[in-house]
Amino acid sequence: MARCHCRWCNVFICMCSPCICLVLLFIYASIMVCMDMQSTISPSRVIEEDRFVAPGTLRNNSFAPLPNTFWKLHWHGDAFWNHLQLSIDRHFNPILHPNTKLGFDDSTLLRQSFSEVINLDSTKKNLDKLPQHIQEFVGYMNIRDYATLIQPDGVCGAGAKDEREPPLLLLAIKTTELNFKNRQAIRQTWGQVGWMAGQKRNSSRGDEGGGYIRRVFLLGKENPEELGVDLSELLQIESQRYGDILQWNFKDTFFNLTLKDVLFWDWFSRSCSQTRFVFKGDDDVFVNTPNMITYLQEQLKKPKAHRTMKDFMVGDVIGAAIPNRVNNSKYFIPDTFYQGLYPTYAGGGGVVYSGLLAKRLHNISKRIHLFPIDDVYVGMCMIRLNVYPIHHDAFLTFDFPGKEKEERCSYHRILLVHKRNPNQIIKLWEDVKKTQTQCQGVPLRNAAKKEKKDKKPKQAKL
Ligand SMILES: *[C@@H]1O[C@H](CO)[C@@H](O)[C@H](O)[C@H]1NC(C)=O
Ligand SMILES: *[C@@H]1O[C@H](CO)[C@@H](O)[C@H](O)[C@H]1NC(C)=O
Ligand SMILES: *[C@@H]1O[C@H](CO)[C@@H](O)[C@H](O)[C@H]1NC(C)=O
Ligand SMILES: *[C@@H]1O[C@H](CO)[C@@H](O)[C@H](O)[C@H]1NC(C)=O
Ligand SMILES: *[C@@H]1O[C@H](CO)[C@@H](O)[C@H](O)[C@H]1NC(C)=O
């Protein structure tokens, strides 16, 4: 009886001791791996401001294009732009290179990666197959230091001479030499400079305050031979009269629009250190500027605003958009040029961000190759700052849904609507003024209403 018991005991020890050993070994290995990871990560624990952070570690990952499987590398090596950017992103990745020195010459790095990739045999073969206008883009995408032809009068665009506090909002509007009528309509209406009062939301609470507005128009150059006329002299006169023209010496084409962002950030960082917010948009939008002023002042009054302002961008946010692959579209991007989803971005018709963010975008843009579509490029900069734009339903970059346009007070409930021609802009501005008392206190459009009204998801750039 006792012997039998002993035998079972032996069997038990025989079976279990290897298991126990394995468990101990596993625990030991886990602890060692953990300690090792701790020691490599800790130097960059506090991830510096402008180091690339991979998607997935984002604060707001509601739109983050997460890979289906974590082991699938998003390499996309044969797409030209991805190939160019990959080495730069790797270089500034705080996990791969925790000790990379910040602040050295980023433009050298961009140029280096460009000449390396463009000289590969495989790239040369693929480049020939790209459509003509993309080949042209590639030919110039490495250049971004174009001369300034016309500078605005004021330090930071046209504004009131007697500003008693830093400007609240700089309106930076993309336009072309030809669109004089658009500029003039904007100057007379929503783009007036100087002190502007906010929108009173509550008669009982009295005046909602206001802020100083400044304005600058962003232009490239038309080719007089192609255009048939030379408008540069008229633009000079316009600039002397209004002092709000900022023109650079590059051809004003759709694929060169990204240059306006990059060069604007450069100018802004040097000239507009005090400006609180930037509106950047097209010259065919209507902005309810009083609403915008009140909305922005509310943001400044929020608790912790001094910390959140460095990340502040608001607009019509488009998430997980697929590049347009229809070859006759203006937005066509072939998969030999770019693969993968676009990062979350705010539609370029009109977007507002803080002056602080503009300066950070300026810094990070020196590490990101130009991309032909301007608002997507801004999204590419944002994701590398680990910042997400905030969506607001009062930015209507795809116009009003359904019949909402005809509703009473519809234009009092928005911050921006695209697209309106100069005559419409002038008419709308007058209408909004006329219906002021009638529509006083209507709230801005918001998400709750949107859920009821348009369930349809937005399609970007199709
Ligand atoms: C307007 O005032 C009323 C009471 O005075 C208040 O309940 C309401 O929240 C205010 N609305 C806004 C938009 O401030
Ligand atoms: C951008 O501007 C440059 C300089 O004027 C011009 O040579 C180039 O063709 C333009 N690029 C595109 C894609 O239009
Ligand atoms: C555009 O696509 C169509 C079909 O998808 C094709 O037949 C055509 O050749 C393409 N055009 C160009 C310029 O690539
Ligand atoms: C931008 O970069 C410069 C030079 O590296 C630095 O001094 C500045 O603080 C940076 N600005 C922001 C807003 O990060
Ligand atoms: C995060 O995204 C959601 C949309 O899914 C949005 O409602 C929210 O405001 C965003 N938060 C920040 C901080 O941007």
Strands (E), 139-198: 148-150, 169-174, 194-197
pTM, to two decimals: 0.81
Q: Which residue, among 100, 92, 98, has the nearest Cα to 385 in the 3D structure? A: 92
Predicted local confidence at residue 458, as pLDDT: 46
| Ligand 1 atom showing the smallest separation from residue 201 Cα | 13
Q: How far is the CA of 140 from the centre of ligand 2 (A)?
A: 6
List all residues 6 or more positions away from 415 whose beta carbon is below 8 Å from its beta carbon: 287, 288, 291, 292, 295, 352, 392, 394, 395, 444
Q: Is 60 close to ligand 5, i.e. is its CB under 6 Å away? A: yes
Best residue among 49, 101, 359, 367 to mutate for probing ligand 4, ranked by most atoms within 8 Å of CB: 359
Ligand closest to 366 (CA) is: 4
Q: How far is the CA of 385 from the centre of ligand 2 (A)?
A: 28
Ligand closest to 446 (CA) is: 5
| Ligand 5 atom showing the smallest separation from residue 317 Cα | 4
Q: How far is the CA of 341 from the centre of ligand 5 (A)?
A: 19
The letter for the amino acid at 353 is Y
Q: Is 212 close to ligand 5, i.e. is its CB under 6 Å away? A: no
Digit-coded pLDDT (tens) for 294-344: 999 999 999 998 889 999 999 999 987 889 998 888 899 998 999 888 999
Q: Which residue, among 296, 277, 281, has the nearest Cα to 375 in the 3D structure? A: 281
Number of Cα atoms under 13 Å in the Cβ half of residue 238: 22
- 388: which 2 tokens? 């997400």
- 399: which 2 tokens? 């116009």
Take atom 5 of ligand 1 and give the residue whose Cα is closest. 204
Helices 121-129 + 132-140 axis angle, to 10: 130
Let me know: does 179 contact 276? Beta carbons within 8 Å. Answer: no
Q: How far apart are CA 415 and CA 393, in angstroms?
A: 9
Tokens 């991979």 -> residue: 54
Q: In which residue ranges of the chain is pLDDT below 50?
A: 41-48, 53-61, 204, 450-462
Sign of the alpha-carbon dihedral angle for 227, 232, 237, 243: positive
* Structural domains for the chain: 68-140 (no CATH), 148-434 (3.90.550.50)
Sign of the alpha-carbon dihedral angle for 330, 332, 338, 343: positive
Predicted local confidence at residue 43, as pLDDT: 42
Q: How far is the CA of 236 from the centre of ligand 2 (A)?
A: 22
Mean pLDDT of the chain: 85
Helices 180-188 + 422-434 axis angle, to 10: 10
| Ligand 4 atom showing the smallest separation from residue 362 Cα | 1
Ligand closest to 442 (CA) is: 1
Q: How far is the CA of 223 from the centre of ligand 2 (A)?
A: 10
